[in-house]
């Protein structure tokens, strides 16, 4: 079970540090629209679409070292990084860093398979989280987002292929 699930069932592993942010910048719907406007994935969205996306996101502040996804576990959330960096443990020999404006957790939501990698907070994070049912609706309602996800997936596959061939794997 992951971040939001652990928060829901009270089994949060980091001393109760994971809580929806009750106030402050980036928490109200209008703040979230401002944040979403700066995210490349949502670049083609109208103001109305951004408002509806803002309505389905939850804002979380997360301490450094929090494990947000664990490889092999089921995944129910999509994470957008507002602030901070995460480390994606793609394989024992390959790690990728993602920062503000980037996202992770889309793969399990797209194909229903377990998480492909563990993702850990390298610094304190502010995240926007979208759960599976809202994510599916978002894809249905906003085709441009599906295209954006495909572009990122293609880029990640190419990078993974390049990394493999540089290791002599091909
Ligand atoms: P998911 O499989 O749901 O959970 C782990 C996430 O790590 C995955 O979705 C992607 O968002 C991310 N991820 C996996 N592999 C890579 C990669 N090679 N580069 C960047 N991010 C990745």
Is residue 68 within 6 Å of ligand 1 at its C-beta? no
Mean per-residue pLDDT, 22-32: 66
Strands (E), 6-154: 19-20, 58-62, 67-69, 77-83, 86-91, 94-98, 103-104, 118-121, 125-131
Task: List pLDDT tens digits, range 97-122.
Answer: 999 999 999 999 999 999 999 999 99
Nearest ligand 1 atom, CA 115: 2
For residue 108, give the ligand 1 atom closest to its CA.
3
* Mean pLDDT computed over 35-49: 92
Q: 80 CB under 6 A from ligand 1?
A: no
Q: Is 4 in the pocket of ligand 1 (CB under 6 A)?
A: no
Establish whether residue 108 lines the binding site of ligand 1, counting it when its CB lies within 6 angstroms of any ligand atom: yes
pLDDT in tens, 72-106: 999 999 999 999 999 999 999 999 999 999 999 99
| Distance, CA of 54 to CA of 44 (rounded, Å) | 15
Global confidence as pTM: 0.86
């Amino acid at each position: 079970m992951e971040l939001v699930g652990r928060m829901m069932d009270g089994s949060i592993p980091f001393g109760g540090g994971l809580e929806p942010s009750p106030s402050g910048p980036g928490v109200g719907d209008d703040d979230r629209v401002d944040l979403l406007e700066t995210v490349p994935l949502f670049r083609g969205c109208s103001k109305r679409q951004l408002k509806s996306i803002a309505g389905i996101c939850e804002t979380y502040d997360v301490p450094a070292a929090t494990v947000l996804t664990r490889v092999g576990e089921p995944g129910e959330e999509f994470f957008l990084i507002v602030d901070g960096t995460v480390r994606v443990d793609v394989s024992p020999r390959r790690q990728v860093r993602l920062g503000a404006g980037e996202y992770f957790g889309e793969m399990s939501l797209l194909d229903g398979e377990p998480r492909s990698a563990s993702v850990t907070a390298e610094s304190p994070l502010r995240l926007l989280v979208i759960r599976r049912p809202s994510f599916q609706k978002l894809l249905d309602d906003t085709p441009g987002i599906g295209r954006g996800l495909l572009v990122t997936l293609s880029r990640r596959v190419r990078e993974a292929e390049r990394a493999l061939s540089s290791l002599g794997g091909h």
